[in-house]
Chain A
Amino acid sequence: MLLLTCPYCGVSAEETEFHGGGEAHLKRHADGSSDDAFTAYLFERKNPKGIVFERWRHVYGCGKWFHAARCAVTLEVFGTYSAQTLKPPKSIITSIKAKRPDWEEIS
């Protein structure tokens, strides 16, 4: 059972109060992009066996979308942060590196 804290309303709750929205920080490709880039944006996912950055929605609370950093193997949550960002904030990266010194972000 995941425990997540919504960064908007500050409520900590079990995963049943939230809804997962898949990989975060996807770069949107649309008009004018190549077919390969558009396909990758639509379908291809990193799906790592390790740290994931993903979107969540606080459906049974404030209703807002936010981001979370989590380990897909141990389910350890390294923190949640605003969805209004293109990449994970430094504080999140620091807290991951503190526990997983060898971890490198997949580009």
Chain B
Amino acid sequence: MRKYSAFAIAREAFRHHSGWQRAWRSPEPKKSYQVVIVGAGGHGLATAYYLAKNHGIRDIAVIEKGWLGGGNTGRNTTIIRSNYLQDESAAIYEKARGLYEGLSAELNYNIMFSPRGVMMLAQTEHELRGYHRINQANAIQGVATEMLTPEQVKSKVPIMEINGPRYPVLGALWQARGGTARHDAVAWGYARAASDLGVDIIQQTEVTGITQSGGQVTGVQTTRGDISCKKLGIVVAGHSGVLAEMAGFRLPIESVSLQALVSEPIKPCIDVVVMANTVHGYLSQSDKGELVIGGGADGYNNYTQRGSFHHVEETVRALIETFPIISRLKQLRQWGGIVDMTGDRSPIIGKTPLGGCFINCGWGTGGFKSIPGSGWALAATMASGEPDELAAPFGLERFAEGRFIDESVAAGVAH
């Protein structure tokens, strides 16, 4: 792989850009791999990358039914933060946020990480008390957050109407080192780096079955033939239930559509990420000038990648009251992603009832921010066969044991 650099741009400028290589290989699938990962989204590609880099396992295939990064990795609102309530969550999300800080240099791919600060608005008394609690928990966990007064909120975001009347701003939880990154670039950067380490990324190939023998996984059936493997990682977010059915077990997961939209591009007017959890809306401005708006999840299971009209209406209605300046903006695009929701709103990482088969799912509405940490933890778990320190609390068995990692009260909708 030829390195990207300022020198490379200058060199290519002198030869009509004829020397750029493809970012990743598109190999024919082999008959057998040591590790097969289903799903070439951010989490799957990060898992493959860290397996190759941290654990020296390079005989890996990442199988993707569509194109890489075309699922939730390409559909989220790109927010990165780690201000969670529970210690287990803070550990893995903070690991991910820390990895994001150095990811562009590590992958030699500009993921445009922008630590512009994440502001979570408190618009009810309950929410204000909840954020005070998280702020205290974060102090103990070593995650830097602070509480802002309404006046401080107004000075950071002048376009915000803080007096209500329906949704007054009573304060905010502020994580200065949170922010956004270019979501596609995260998938592309991991894909390029993993491919360079020898990982085969096989796109446009759907897994149609999982083969097993004596309680041990032996391979996968795909639309391009059977591929055998010693270890299998299922990293497919909203379709986890479908893959689990093939593997012969069930998950405590329900799939729903979560939607987002962007406005037409306008001049810079907001330079932080604002999350308004009471009204299920979050807002940031992309480098192109579009306002990126995240909305609510549907109230019933579905696989539509579209979302209900009334949810987008509720989101926009509430955001217009908080940000009156956006009321005349046109909507440019709207879409949905299928998110995998667990009861405690925390992910599932670890072993499954099928031997050699590992799963990473249940990130629900908050998967993008956790991509590096999630890949790191699953790679360590798959390499050793036992859950690593970050992954251990998130095992599937926690439901049977009643050992929930309850983030649903702290951040039931907006992650």
Residues on A lying within 8 angstroms of B by beta carbon are 1-2, 14-16, 19-20, 22, 35-36, 39-40, 42-49, 52, 54, 70, 72-73, 75, 106
17 more A-B residue pairs beyond the given contacts A45-B241, A46-B245, A73-B302, with a C-beta to C-beta distance below 8 A: A1-B309, A2-B300, A2-B308, A15-B299, A15-B310, A16-B310, A39-B400, A43-B399, A44-B251, A45-B251, A45-B253, A46-B250, A54-B300, A72-B301, A72-B304, A75-B302, A106-B245
Residue of A nearest to B397 (CB): A39
Residue of B nearest to A52 (CB): B301
For residue B381, CB closer than 8 A to chain A, the reply is no
List B contacts of A43 (CB < 8 A). 252, 343, 399-400
Residue of B nearest to A38 (CB): B400
List B contacts of A106 (CB < 8 A). 245
Give complex CA distance A20, B311 in Å: 14
Give complex CA distance A59, B299 in Å: 13
With A15-B310, A43-B399 in contact, is A49–B250 under 8 Å at CB? Answer: no
List A contacts of B303 (CB < 8 A). 49, 72-73
Give complex CA distance A14, B310 in Å: 10
List A contacts of B302 (CB < 8 A). 72-73, 75
A73 near B304 with CB under 8 A, answer yes
Chain B interface size, under 10 / 10 to 19 / 20 to 34 / 35 or more: 20 to 34
Interface positions, chain B 184-224, Cβ under 8 Å from A, are: none
18 pairs, CB–CB < 8 Å, chain A vs chain B: A1-B309, A2-B300, A15-B300, A15-B308, A39-B400, A40-B250, A45-B250, A45-B251, A45-B254, A46-B245, A46-B250, A47-B254, A48-B245, A49-B255, A49-B303, A54-B300, A54-B301, A73-B304
List A contacts of B343 (CB < 8 A). 43
Task: For A22, give its contact among B253, B254, B310 (CB under 8 Å).
Answer: B254
For residue B154, CB closer than 8 A to chain A, the reply is no
List A contacts of B250 (CB < 8 A). 40, 44-46
List B contacts of A1 (CB < 8 A). 308-310
With A35-B400, A54-B301 in contact, is A47–B253 under 8 Å at CB? Answer: yes
List B contacts of A44 (CB < 8 A). 250-252
A85 CB to nearest chain B CB (Å): 20
Task: For A20, give its contact among B241, B242, B299, B309 (CB under 8 Å).
Answer: B299
With a 10 A CB-CB cut-off, give which of B239, B242, B302 has the most chain A CB atoms: B302
Give complex CA distance A20, B341 in Å: 15
List B contacts of A2 (CB < 8 A). 300, 308
Give complex CA distance A49, B253 in Å: 13
List A contacts of B255 (CB < 8 A). 47, 49, 72
Residue of A nearest to B309 (CB): A1
Give complex CA distance A106, B250 in Å: 12
B305 CB to nearest chain A CB (Å): 10
Give complex CA distance A106, B242 in Å: 12
B299 near A47 with CB under 8 A, answer no
Task: For A45, give its contact among B252, B300, B308, B310 (CB under 8 Å).
Answer: B252
A49 near B239 with CB under 8 A, answer yes
B278 CB to nearest chain A CB (Å): 19
Residue of A nearest to B342 (CB): A43
List B contacts of A39 (CB < 8 A). 399-400
List B contacts of A35 (CB < 8 A). 400
Residue of A nearest to B400 (CB): A39
List B contacts of A19 (CB < 8 A). 299
Residue of B nearest to A40 (CB): B250
B253 near A20 with CB under 8 A, answer no
Residue of A nearest to B310 (CB): A16
B343 CB to nearest chain A CB (Å): 7
List B contacts of A22 (CB < 8 A). 254, 301
Give complex CA distance A100, B309 in Å: 27
List A contacts of B310 (CB < 8 A). 1, 14-16
Give complex CA distance A52, B299 in Å: 14
Give complex CA distance A15, B241 in Å: 25
Residue of A nearest to B343 (CB): A43
Give complex CA distance A46, B308 in Å: 22
Give complex CA distance A73, B300 in Å: 12
A94 CB to nearest chain B CB (Å): 23
| Residue interface mask B236-254, A partner, CB < 8 A = 1 | 0001011001000011111
List B contacts of A15 (CB < 8 A). 299-300, 308, 310
A47 near B251 with CB under 8 A, answer yes
A48 near B241 with CB under 8 A, answer yes
A70 CB to nearest chain B CB (Å): 8
Q: Which 5 pairs across A and B sit closest by C-beta, in order of nearness?
A: A47-B241, A20-B300, A43-B252, A44-B250, A39-B400
A43 CB to nearest chain B CB (Å): 4
A39 CB to nearest chain B CB (Å): 4
A37 CB to nearest chain B CB (Å): 11
